[in-house]
Structure 1
Amino acid sequence: MEKAEVPQLHPNPSSRSSPGAQDPPLSRTKSTTGTAIGRIASHLSTRSISNPGPPPDGGLRAWTQVVCAWLAILNTWGFVNSFGAFQTYYDSILPEPSSTISWIGSTQACLLFLVGIFSGRALDAGLFRPTVMIGIAIQLLGIFALSGAKNYWQILLTQGICTGIGGGIFFVPMMGLVSTYFAKNRGMAIGIVTTGNSAGGIVYPVVVRQLLDQIGFGWTVRVLGFINIICLAVAFAFMKPRLPPRKSGPLVDMDVFKDVPYMLHILGMCFIMPPVYFVFYYIASFARDELGMPYTTSLNLVIIVNGVGLPARILPGYVADRYIGVLNTFIICVFINIIIFYSWLGVNSIPSYYAFAVLYGIFGASFQSLFPTTIAVLSNDITKTGTRLGMAFLTISFSALAGGPLSGALLQAAGGKYYAPIVWAGTTTAVGLCLVVSARCCKHGWRFKVRC
């Protein structure tokens, strides 16, 4: 059970009420008990509103926020991570080329990031609940409209644009809210939340694989909509902001442009994120095109790469919190990810491809789960976490938009051979890693032993 902090009465002379000053409202209503009791009650009330104290770093309420944010991530980024199942299906029914179809998933991912700058600020400004409610409504509208879509542009509008905007409105405030409840255990808490990413990447493809042939595309999507309604209603009911509003703050924190480590880190993420979507969108297509897998079997790769990410999103947060720090853990995971990308060039059998899917699922999920925490670590003011996280998502949204279509264009230019986008993915990630390492060194120096 969390212990309430007992405030000191008048810790300095300036805090005392001067003789003749107007008594607090509570003192007037309880004047018969004396002014002392009134001042105590007023002090406690004011403190609870303006200064809630340090993050509880645990307890029922804090972990409830983690569970609720997990449900939100399951139905936003889990939807994005499962786009490989939709991409493979759309390739078989739409006349548009694969690179054009990938704009659907890329647009959805881009808007999830892009809208974050506005919705992240809403958390800081005390508009959490109305913002989340609007976002959930827009996402549900997009999903149920998708169930009746018949052509490419209708799918792009509903799945790409509508669900992207709706998810972007509510997922950033929910993610930022968790950060305000934790300090020492923040990495683990965020890691647990981001396992919803992998869980959604399992749930959505499994539902599509099991129901698509039985009840058709329309009702399959409606089932996904009903899952969204249940999960998001629970999340909305139990999430509770902890910090007071910061209404006077700007939409954009201009101080970040003077923060060299923060800017280098975000620039590095602009290189690291596009290849992530290449894997999620094309892992099933590679299995079908290069290894001859049928459609239903190829979806197993989407499920595996997301499934192994469940524990992989928790363990790095624990290691970061307890041993080497968030930035160090993040750098190690990205470095291993580069090696895995280049190893993809040697995949020529189904067993080796399953091994690749497992390894990428582990280390790809690891650095993704740590990214939101790295923003909190690089931010010196916890009250600006929502704004800075939203600005980070805005910056990398455009690189996320380019990931799927660019890899599809490289695939088409190489005559359907996957070596070109694979080399591009590994090299681009390596460039991003160099920038992230530079950010880490600007903030904490070159010594690896420094925990950061």
Structure 2
Amino acid sequence: MAFVSLFVCVLINLLLRVRVPARRSGLIADLHAFTELPYIFFVVGFFLIYWAVYFAFYYIDLYGYTYASFTSLDSINLLLITNGLGMPGRVLPGFVAARLLGPLNTAIPTTVSVAIVLYCWPAVALYAFAAVYGLVASAIQSLFAVSLAALTDDLSQLGTRMGMVFSVVAFACLTGSPIAGAIVQASGESYLGAQM
């Protein structure tokens, strides 16, 4: 992977040139943003989304191997299906958001669909879950930045506001899956509590 990264970085540095001169960086934090109710709801909402969304990515193959008695190859296939369907899952919602509904109006039903699919995990076939979850979970990840841009009136503050949201959401990404793993372990290796 290091050689792949090195090759791609060298290629990028050889072929690409800066078209727009760098602009002066803004403030590190815009605490005034936390007085805006839509921004606060956005931060809290995406914190909760990211707290749950990576659980399936980290545990679907282990779940298939231990709970559903899949072979190790079949359980890895679940993860490959989830990530493979992430490609159209990242592109299609962006198209819908740009052409039809707008980013926030696309993110809201996508968030609801992620929750519904996660709650259906124990009740559906694993391959079906992996496919549908790959689509919707990747969709919510791709809609994160464009939804924030739709909430920001002054686009010169977008980088600062995005950094602030990422700082908060990072804690959700770092703690969600370990907490779910602790729930699985505390319930005697049963995944149901963590899935709910």
Out of 299, 315, 319, the residue aligned to residue 76 of structure 2 is 299
Matched, 1:245 2:23: yes
After superposition, give the CA deviation of every residue in 1:159-202 in whole Å (9 maximum; x if it has no partner).
xxxxxxxxxxxxxxxxxxxxxxxxxxxxxxxxxxxxxxxxxxxx
Match of 1:419 in 2: 192
Residue in structure 2 matched with residue 42 of structure 1 by the alignment: none
C-alpha displacement of 1:234: 3.2
Shift of 1:243: 5.8
Task: Name which one, 1 or 2, has greater alpha-carbon Rg.
Answer: 1
Equivalent position of 2:94 in the other structure: 317
The number of equivalent residue pairs is 195
> Counterpart amino acid of 1:287?
G
For 2:76 and 2:28, the matched residues in 1 are separated by: 41
Q: By how many angstroms is 1:369 displaced?
A: 0.5
CA change 1:265–1:365 in 2 (3 A) is: same
Give the secondary structure class of the aligned counterpart of 1:250.
coil
Aligned to 1:337: 114
Structure 1 residue 338: Cα displacement: 1.3
1:99 is matched with which residue?
none
Q: Which amino acid counterpart does residue 187 of structure 2 have in structure 1?
A: A
Q: Relative to 1, partners in 2 of residues 1:266 and 1:342: Cα closer, same or farther, differing over 3 Å?
A: same
- Give runs of aligned pairs for residues 142-157 of structure 1, distance below 5 A: none
Correspondence for 2:137? 364
**Partner of residue 39, structure 2:** 262
- Which amino acid counterpart does residue 293 of structure 1 have in structure 2? F
Letter in 1 for 2:104: L
Q: Does 1:328 align with 2:101?
A: no
- SS class of match (2:188): coil
Q: Cα offset for 1:231?
A: 2.2
CA distance in 2, matches of 1:370, 1:292: 35
Q: Report Cα offsets for 1:137-176 as digits up to 9, x if no partner.
A: xxxxxxxxxxxxxxxxxxxxxxxxxxxxxxxxxxxxxxxx
Instruction: Report the equivalent of 1:271.
Output: 48
Q: 1:308 aligns with which of 73, 85, 100?
A: 85
State how far apart, in whole Å, the 2-side matches of 1:383 and 1:241 are. 18
Percent of aligned positions with the same letter in both sequences? Answer: 35
Equivalence map 1:111-130=2 (5 Å): none
1:239 Cα deviation from its structure 2 partner:
6.0
| TM-score, with length taken from structure 1 | 0.42
Report the residue type matching 1:345 in the other structure. P
Distance between the aligned counterparts of 1:421 and 1:239, measured in 2?
47
Equivalent AA in structure 2 for residue 246 of structure 1: R
Structure 1: how far apart are the matches of 2:136 and 2:54? 14
- Please give the TM-score of this superposition, normalised by the length of structure 2: 0.93
Which residue number corresponds to residue 127 of structure 2? 354
Which runs of no fewer than 5 residues in structure 2 stay unpaired? none
State how 1:197-212 maps to structure 2 within 5 Å. none
Name the CA distance, whole Å, in 1 between partners of 2:75 and 2:136. 21
Structure 1, unaligned stretches of length 5 or more?
1-223, 424-452
Cα distance in 1, alignment partners of residues 13 and 176 from structure 2:
32
Deviations 1:273-332 (A, max 9, x none): 021121111010001001212223311111100111111211111111111111010011
**AA paired with 1:304?**
I
Greater relative contact order (Cα 8 A, min sep 6): structure 1 or 2?
Answer: 2
